[in-house]
Structure 1
Amino acid sequence: MKLVILDTGCSNISSVKWAIQRIGCCSCVSCDPDMIICADKLILPGVGTANTIMNHLNKNSLTDVIKSFKKPILGICLGMQILGSYSDENGGVSTLGIIDKSIELMNSDNLPIPHTGWNKVIFFSKNYLFNNIKNESYFYFMHSYAMPVNNYTISQCYYGYYFSAAIQKNNFFGVQFHPERSHKVGRQLLKNFLEM
């Protein structure tokens, strides 16, 4: 299997690569469109801003490559957020538009922002991404923006209000939490994705 971790121009790429390596899978980090087109699976990591990642994707002619990718894709944190249509962050930026929902500053009911730490994830339905993971398991979050719950939400989390913790539309998967920092449950989720 050829697994590519997209070089998004953001941080956290090394953490994802090491987490994949601990599962026993090889991966490469690239922003070369030809290499991405040939991948069997693609991971979109990201800790940073929507503007940074979208500028990087546009500069490297990757937006259409990602949108037309037919094999499994997993967006992590900011990598999930760019699957939406628009982000309100830093004055606003158009994103990939896979899912027709905007990413909004969290309405956390006076709780601290960013939302940082362990929180419970509630599954909406059985999904292979959560195979061998108990419902209401705790995952590690670190974010200030989130996607509202919508028709493509497969799990949600509560932090002053409910938001999408994971989404799926066709071959596009996204998780707002960080599986690479979520110990056993995170390792199982990454393993599930790699085995799709």
Structure 2
Amino acid sequence: GKAVWTVALLLLLGVAGWGLLPQSGRERLREVLELKAYRPGTETSAGARLLIQSATIAAVGQRPILGWGYGYEVFERVSANLFPEMKRTTEGMSHSHNQWLELAFESGVLSAMAFFAFVFFRIAALGIALRSTRGTMFLTVLCLFALELAIQVYGLTNYTLRRNLAYYSYGIWITSHLVAWLTLSQKSKSHADESVTKDFH
């Protein structure tokens, strides 16, 4: 059925993606799969990110409602004031390396929760559209659904709203909304036409 084809397509995309990755990308993925990468410290990129994320949580705890403000410069300044030794010894301490923590740091916990609701309903709309369509449009919705999930996974260790990268995120979200809306609108119209036909007969 459709579920089998969906799983098969995702597996095929995963294999193709691995084959297209440069050597540096494969090494990064291997590092992510090693347990030592998840020990906080400066030895690995993942370990450094865990340190930075712990510091971000502490900073959010000091200003949970309004946050500290937007931008790398703000994060670097606050980090230097609150965690001067960590800022000096840890590479990459220009943002929290986690989308949700960065949003809470910049704008407060309530803003991060509002963004979570935005993400949830966006992905839910694509999921509903995925179950409601066939053919070429099904593949389009499936690709966007997979892309949205990939963005969220990426956001666990990075920040999709940073500088130029944000424009890609906004473009993907606009496209996702339009495709989901068109798909669900067509389904509603089809159901309405069927109802009219049944009433007529």
Normalising by structure 1, what TM-score? Answer: 0.24
Larger radius of gyration: 2
Normalising by structure 2, what TM-score? Answer: 0.24
Which has the larger share of helix? 2
Which has the larger share of strand? 1
